[in-house]
A and B are shown apart, each in its own frame.
Chain A
Amino acid sequence: SQQGEEDPQALSIQEGENATMNCSYKTSINNLQWYRQNSGRGLVHLILIRSNEREKHSGRLRVTLDTSKKSSSLLITASRAADTASYFCATGDTGRRALTFGSGTRLQVQP
């Protein structure tokens, strides 16, 4: 089952600009996570936000969570060419041991 849907599917920006990606999900969750995937590689965990949190920061990353709208956003500030990757949201809930992933946003940062 596809829980999270990212928007947009693809995003192209210039270095130094901010990048915002959105994720919507369908069921109740315990937490929502964002992962990054460089081309042809595995996923790397970026940040986790719990269902009772509204906003979280980690370096240049800012994540928000709106459980009433079942949506989250990932903001990358002052983007760099090295941020070029695909970004996935993933949700976890008590009824399921495994995370459910969305389809991802491909971010291209032009130098």
Chain B
Amino acid sequence: DVKVTQSSRYLVKRTGEKVFLECVQDMDHENMFWYRQDPGLGLRLIYFSYDVKMKEKGDIPEGYSVSREKKERFSLILESASTNQTSMYLCASRPPASGANVLTFGAGSRLTVL
């Protein structure tokens, strides 16, 4: 089974801190995604990456950046955390051009910014 691992399940950070959320997948998937999930808003795409060092903005990239130095790892970075970034962050991956873009998700990282 494909496994997507998010290193931190729960984090509490202070406003202004730099925050790193790490995601690792073990199935050699080219495509990786970061979504945030908020009540009533569903999942919103922050960034995605379709290859090493390649990235594209999603629907809500403001306040975030990403890093994909290795194929298996996709990091989400909050340069200066703010309270409105308190949320559940979900990482997902899928193989390339699979015909059906079925995603495999990690367990999520719940971030609280005080």
Contact = CB atoms under 8 A, between A and B. Distances in A.
A33 to B, nearest CB: 7
Given A1-B59, A41-B107, A98-B48, A48 B42 contact: no
24 contacts: A1-B59, A31-B100, A31-B101, A33-B102, A35-B105, A41-B108, A42-B4, A42-B106, A43-B90, A43-B103, A44-B105, A45-B103, A50-B100, A88-B42, A92-B101, A97-B48, A97-B56, A98-B101, A99-B101, A100-B45, A101-B35, A101-B44, A102-B42, A103-B42
Contacts of B59: 1
Interface in B4-19: 4
A40 B104 contact: no
A45 B40 contact: no
Contacts of A50: 100
Interface in B39-65: 40-45, 48, 50, 56, 58-59
B43 A88 contact: yes
B42 A42 contact: no
Instruction: Across the A-B interface, give the 8 residue pairs with the lowest CB-CB distance, nearest first.
Output: A42-B105, A103-B42, A101-B43, A43-B105, A92-B101, A101-B42, A42-B107, A98-B45
Interface of B: 4, 31, 33, 35, 40-45, 48, 50, 56, 58-59, 88, 90, 92, 100-108, 110
A2 interface: yes
Interface of B is mostly: strand
Nearest to A102: B42
A89 B72 CA distance: 27
A41 B90 CA distance: 9
Contacts of A101: 35, 42-44
Given A40-B110, A97-B31, A104-B42, 5 more contacts: A4-B42, A41-B107, A41-B108, A92-B101, A103-B42
Contacts of A35: 103, 105
A48 B48 CA distance: 21
Contacts of B101: 31, 92, 97-99
A97 B108 CA distance: 21
